Structure 1
Amino acid sequence: MRQWRALAVLGTAQFLMVLDTSVMNVSISQLVEDFDTEVTAIQAVITLYALVMAAFMATGGRLGDILGRRRLFLVGLVVYGVGSGLTAVAPTLWMLALGWSVVEGLGAALVLPAMAALVAESYTGRDRAVAYGVIGGLAGAGIAVGPLLGGWVTTYLTWRLVFAGEVVVVIAMLCFRGAIPESPRPERRPRLDGVGAFLSAAGLGLGVLGVLQSGTWGWVQPQNPPFTVLGFAPTLFVVAAGVLVLAAFAKWERRREAHGTDPLIHLSLLHRLPLRSGLLTLVSQNLILLGLFFAIPLYLQVVQGFDAFETGLRLLPVSVTMLVASVLASRLGRVMGPRRVVRLALLTLLGAITWLLATIEPVIDDAQFAGAMALLGVGMGLLASQLGNVVQSSAGEEERSEVGGLQFTAQNLGSALGTALIGSILVGALAHAFTTQVAKNPDVSQEARQQTSVALEAGISFVPTEQVRSAAERAGLPAAEVDAVTDSYATAQLNGLKAAILAAGGITLASLLVTTHLPTGRAGRGKDPGTGAPGVPLEQA
């Protein structure tokens, strides 16, 4: 039993950092009200949190090699606790973004790669597979507890208490730091590649910024951008700039490797097909999950009018089944092989998304919605049970921190893109559907259509229909036209939500293409010829 004490501390860190995002997602409406802002602003804060983690995970992994993984884990916990404290007392949206998105994000970027490496160091063979199954289960538990705990606290007390509680948990974890074993000292400590760290962060930041703002700026035709480029919306140019910076990062890293200087990331790692396939699947998993967990609470809170606690209750089925599936399916991977389990998971997600699309109606059918959520959790749990072990099994002992950085970079890049992309699709589809509905509604006059067009050009947000009704009344529209515009917006809301969820389904289907090189055999025997690395080997087909 003593050997699992380290896992208890390390797993608590994983639980805590998953809890954060799920609390924020279920509290969107309350945050909009508390900070007197719009849904798109909270979307940006959530995206920034994931983006900061994605941008600095590789740096965090390399710092673990330089300073020691245990030391960095503990330093990261302190930074994370400071961020939680700032978030708990944040008086403005900017302070929320600083405390939660930036400081907590940086703390997580230090903690998570070190955690992944420490788990791999502390356990071998079948114990390591079990440990990663538990880590996946605790991630599921964070998603399970987050909506319910966050919803209850937000509705009956204040969401700030969740972050105050996180400070207490961090202090308790620091008190039990003795359970975490010291990492073996490397023969030579690598140096930090500062230029590589800057280029990777800048490239990821520009790419995600473009996707995040696409709903406001427009992809090609300018909608409401701060500037234009040759008459076009800046979105694709910003994304392209991010791609070019990442290309420069790759060239810089290859140059450092060629000269025998320590790179931020050994790009040769990505030539290992199981590792690359596992990382791409992690991006897909988190893109789908965080995209849906941004759209679904909006449906429940804004369209259905549920408070945060009622929203958390309706998200409970996905959380419970994800927790159960992620714990139980680690054995399934040993029987079927990770590739088959992951493909089964993606097909399960497709079924859940199809079912979910059928439940997006003006009046919710709680039984059907719960069934779709439960099936969604099964699919996510199956994915969570396999991918951490697949990725870490592709690494040698000296590569644990670096591969851990890649693992959590992939996860958080998927999270950032999920919130940004699905959110922008939702807002863009809402604007298009609203325009179409108003144009074809015979009860709306030409004058009202022009007023609606002006309002759309100024930007549209996902708000309750009563706000649209009030705006129409303030504009002096007759009662019949107020009803017509409000009904058009209500229909557009559902169409926007369905478009966002359908996009998640398309991404799920496309994700099957990146599973080709996942291991197919049973874990725990022999050596993985696809990696050439020790660890928990996985036989290749």
Structure 2
Amino acid sequence: MNERTLPALAGDKIGVVMKKWFVVLILGAAQFVMVLDSTVMNVSISTVVSDLDSSVTAMQTAITFYTLTMAATMLLGAKLGDIWGRRRALVIGSIVYAVGSLMTAFSPNMAVLFLGWSIIEGLGAVLVIPAIAALLADNYEGRDRVTAFAAIGAVSGAGVAAGPLIGGFMTTYFSWRYVFVGEVVILLFVVIFARRIAEKSQRQSIRIDLLSVLLSALGLVGVVFGMLQSKVWGWIVPLHSPEINGVEIAPLGISLTAWFIVVGVVLLVLFFARQRSLVARGRDPLLHADLLSIRQLRSGLSVLGGQYAIIAGLFFMVPVYLQMTLGFNAIETGWRIFPLSVSLILFSIFGTRLSTRWSPRRVVRVGQWVLVASAILLLTAIDPRLSSPAFGIGMFCAGAGLGLLASQLGNVNMSSVTAKDTSEVGGLQGVFQNLGSSLGTALIGSILIGALASSFASGVAQSALPAETQAIINAETEGGVAIVPASTVEQIGQDAGLTADEAETLQEIYIESQLSSLRTAFFGLIVLALLSLMLSRGIPNEVPLPRTPAPRATTAR
């Protein structure tokens, strides 16, 4: 062996490694785009509203329906992947998503943005997300599969965490529209190189039951939409119910939130009953309900939903604190979140290596306890000036906990079923991710807004403001206390007829109310993290291996 041989051997080795993990690169690129949209616009809402001459309410509706579209049609997307083939579903979904991204990038108004982003992108995502999980399971086995799913988990977390930084940078120095143009370029790469992905699973000749599609879609829409509207309508006691001809819509004096959730749950019960009926008659169900009887899968999906609920709650509260209370701009907000992104990637890799010594349950439990500790640290960091290093440490610890979870859950879920069910499990993962995100946003948002209203009312009542001034303030906030930049409250007070001194006092009360409500919401996040510990009992105590195929006696596949 001479000096010229060594570089050649090194180059060959690098080439072999690149070839082996090129599938992860392709699927990781698609996964990054899928999760990027969920956070990239958080720091750009005001700019988008101004560019499109719209309102924050309309923008929130667009964000809501992006989640709803995915939650409602994810199971259908997974089933279409079984019929078309997972690789074809990946390509078709990527093209559909790219069309939606292009429409969003060039949208002249909110209606076009809603169609492109909330509807078309959402429909593309429901084809891509289940296909990613199924194709990873097709292309890797054993320890390589653990590594592949950990890598995709790291990419997901990086997309969630880097979204505000990317959105802040592009919005501050260029335009939010370039983010969606960039998504089109990435998905073009996915479509071109998708043929390099092997597909072992055979396409299935099955019929899709339309009644099952309707029951699952409407049921999930009812549950998710009800939760998302809880901060406006209230959970049980009506707050600001919609009106028809001046009459509030609150049947039997109960909030529409509760009715939406109850009706959604009833429809989902009927959906599962329909699936069992179809199996008993030898027909193809939309979802094999017996999959949820697998303890490992049920626990893995539950922990996944809890993970995304914590992420959503965290990404709702942190921008509120940084932008509304401290007055940070988009790029400053992104940088404050950056420690979470770095640690998430590092601990996804570390979690993969740790799985050679520790069981998945132990890694997941450690990650969950780290999340609890991070929420406590963030709670202690809430002050008017962000003077404590606890915030940065807390964000880093949050990323570490999420990274440890991401390194395990994908493989735990996929290894609990046979190859023919991986597409369905991929769809279930998408459903639980979106349900978790919706629950986290709704629950933490409801706590935050409710605590802000009560704290503000209490602060005004206990202040030295004259009684007539308090009456003016109470009248102005009768419909609720909005989350607005604290720096604007003094001017709002003066516009309402308060003196300069009274307006300044009002601003001080509002700032303290924001801080108090944020502390309450972070405590809610601690409780949510503790509750998620109860969901991890079914995570295996040994490295999960793929299940051997076993035919279902009662199901025609």
Q: TM-score surpassing 0.5?
A: yes
Q: Which residue of 2 aligns with 1:300?
A: 322
Change in 2 beyond 3 A, CA 1:101/1:373: same
Match of 2:234 among 218, 222, 235: 218
> Does structure 2 retain, via aligned residues, the 8 Å contact 1:469–1:483?
yes
Partner residue in 2 for 1:340: 362
After superposition, the C-alpha distances for 1:107-164 in whole angstroms (9 at most, x for unaligned) are: 1111010111011011111111111111112223323432322211111111111111
Map of 2:509 onto structure 1: 488
- Answer yes or no: is the 8 Å Cα contact 1:87–1:100 preserved in 2: yes
Q: Find 1:7's aligned residue among 3, 24, 27.
A: 24
1:233 match: 255
Q: Distance in 1 between matches of 2:58 and 2:454?
A: 20
How many Å apart are 1:29 and its aligned residue? 4.2
1:20 aligns with 2:60: no
Residue of structure 2 aligned with 1:395, choices 394, 410, 417: 417
The match for 2:374 among 352, 356, 370 is: 352
Superposed displacement of residue 183, structure 1: 4.4
Which deviations, in whole Å up to 9, do the C-alpha atoms of 1:285-327 show, x marking residues without a partner?
A: 0000011111101211111111111111111100000011012
For 1:371-382, what aligned pairs fall within 5 Å after superposition?
371-382=393-404
Distance change >3 Å, CA 521–CA 185, structure 1 → 2: closer
User: Whole-Å Cα distance in 1 between the matches of residues 202 and 127 of structure 2?
Assistant: 18
1:404-431 deviation per Cα after TM superposition (whole angstroms, max 9, x unaligned): 1111211121112222222222222211
* Greater shift in the superposed pair: 277-286 or 300-309: 300-309
CA distance in 2, matches of 1:42, 1:431: 23
1:519 to 516, 540, 553: 540
Map 1:48-127 → 2, pairs under 5 A: 48-127=65-144
In structure 1, the partner of 2:9 is none
Aligned equivalent of 2:220: 204
Aligned equivalents of 1:218 and 1:144: distance in 2?
A: 30
What is aligned with 1:145? 162
Question: Could you tell me which amino acid in structure 2 is paired with residue 64 of structure 1?
Answer: G
Are the counterparts in 2 of residues 40 and 461 from structure 1 also a CA contact under 8 Å?
no
Structure 1's 217 and 328: CA in aligned 2 closer, same or farther, altered over 3 A? same
**Offset of 1:195 from its aligned partner?**
1.3
CA apart distance, 1:366:
6.1
Letter matched to residue 223 of structure 2: G
Q: CA deviation at 1:39?
A: 5.3
Q: Deviations over 1:263-293 (max 9, x none)?
A: 1111100000000000000100000001111
Instruction: Point out where structure 2 has 5 or more consecutive residues left out of the alignment.
Output: 1-15, 243-248, 551-557
Report the residue type matching 2:517 in the other structure: G
Relative to structure 1, is the Cα distance of residues 209 and 140 closer, same or farther in structure 2, using a 3 angstrom cutoff?
closer
- How far apart are the structure 2 equivalents of 1:223 and 1:91? 35
The answer on whether the counterparts of 1:47 and 1:417 sit within 8 Å (CA) in structure 2 is no
Which stretch shifts more, 268-277 or 11-20? 11-20
Report how far residue 11 of structure 1 moved.
1.2
- 2:12 alignment counterpart: none
Q: Once the two structures are superposed, what CA deviation does each residue of 1:336-365 show, in whole Å capped at 9, x if it has no partner?
A: 111111111111001000000111111112
Tell me the CA shift for residue 34 of structure 1.
4.1
Does 1:460 find its partner at 2:481? Answer: yes
Instruction: Give the 3-state SS of the residue equivalent to 1:25 in structure 2.
Output: coil
Q: Look up the SS of the partner of 1:373 in the other structure.
A: helix
Residue equivalent to 1:538: none
1:145 aligned partner, one-letter code: A
SS state of the match for residue 26, structure 1?
A: coil
For 2:452 and 2:409, locate their aligned partners in 1 and report how far apart those are by CA, in whole Å: 35
Q: Distance in 2 between matches of 1:371 and 1:208?
A: 32
Q: Is the 8 A contact 1:335 1:522 kept in 2?
A: no
Give the Cα separation in 2 of the matches to 1:334 and 1:533. 25
Identity over aligned residues, as a percent? 45
How far apart are residue 33 of structure 1 and its match?
A: 4.5
Helix, strand or coil: the match of 1:481? helix
Matched, 1:365 2:400: no
Judge which range, 357-366 or 313-322, deviates more.
357-366
Whether contact under 8 Å (2:456, 2:510) holds in the other structure is yes
Aligned equivalents of 1:122, 1:17: Cα separation in 2: 21
Change (3 A) 1:41 1:498: farther
Would the aligned equivalents of 1:253 and 1:263 in 2 still touch at CA under 8 Å?
yes
Identify the range of structure 1 (113-122 vs 427-436) with the bigger mean alpha-carbon deviation. 427-436
Describe how 1:182-197 pairs up with structure 2 within 5 A. Answer: 182-186=199-203, 188-197=204-213
Query: Where does residue 523 of structure 2 map in the other structure?
Result: 502
Structure 1 segments, 4+ long, off by >6 Å, are: none
- Give the structure-2-normalised TM-score: 0.90
Whether 2:184 is the aligned partner of 1:167: answer yes
Tell me whether 1:257 sits opposite 2:279 in the alignment: yes
The alignment's C-alpha RMSD in Å is 1.9
Inter-partner Cα distance in structure 2 for 1:335 and 1:38: 52
Instruction: Tell whether the 8 Å contact from 1:223 to 1:457 is kept in structure 2 after alignment.
Output: no
CA distance in 2, matches of 1:340, 1:66: 37
Residue in 2 that maps onto 1:479:
500
Residues 43 and 420 of structure 1 are in contact (CA less than 8 Å); yes or no, is this contact kept in structure 2?
no
Pair 1:30-2:47 in alignment:
yes
User: Which of these residues, 449, 452, 460, is aligned with residue 427 of structure 1?
Assistant: 449
Which residue of structure 2 aligns with residue 539 of structure 1? none
1:454-512 deviation digits (Å, cap 9, x = unpaired) = 33333432111233222211121122221222222111111222222221111110111
Q: Is the counterpart of residue 438 in structure 1 residue 490 in structure 2?
A: no
Aligned pair count reads: 527
Q: Which deviates the most, 131-140 or 396-405? A: 131-140
Q: Whole-Å Cα distance in 2 between the matches of residues 366 and 85 of structure 1? A: 42
CA contact (8 A) 1:286 1:415 kept: yes
Larger Rg: 2
Separation in structure 2 between the aligned mates of residue 318 and residue 420 of structure 1, nearest angstrom:
22
Question: Aligned pair in 2 of structure 1 residues 73, 332: CA closer, same or farther (>3 Å)?
Answer: same
Distance (Å, rounded) in 2 between the aligned partners of 1:291 and 1:96:
25
Q: Does 1:288 align with 2:310?
A: yes
Indicate whether 1:275 and 2:291 are aligned: no
Q: Does 1:312 align with 2:334?
A: yes
Q: Which runs of 5+ in 1 are unaligned?
A: 535-541
Q: Name the aligned partner's letter for residue 76 of structure 1.
A: G
TM normalised by structure 1 equals 0.93
Q: 1:411 aligns with which of 422, 433, 445?
A: 433
Q: Show CA shifts across 1:393-414 (max 9, x none).
A: 0110111111111112111211
| 2:104–2:116 Cα contact (<8 Å) kept | yes
Query: Which stretch shows the higher mean deviation, 249-258 or 214-223?
Result: 214-223
Would you say the 8 A contact 1:29–1:302 is kept in 2?
no
Spell out, residue by residue over 1:495-534, the C-alpha distance to the aligned partner (whole angstroms, 9 max, x if none).
Answer: 222222221111110111111111011345xx76xxx669
Q: Is residue 39–residue 462 contact of structure 1 (8 Å, CA) maintained in 2?
A: no
Quick check: 2:100–2:120 contact (8 Å CA) kept in 1?
yes
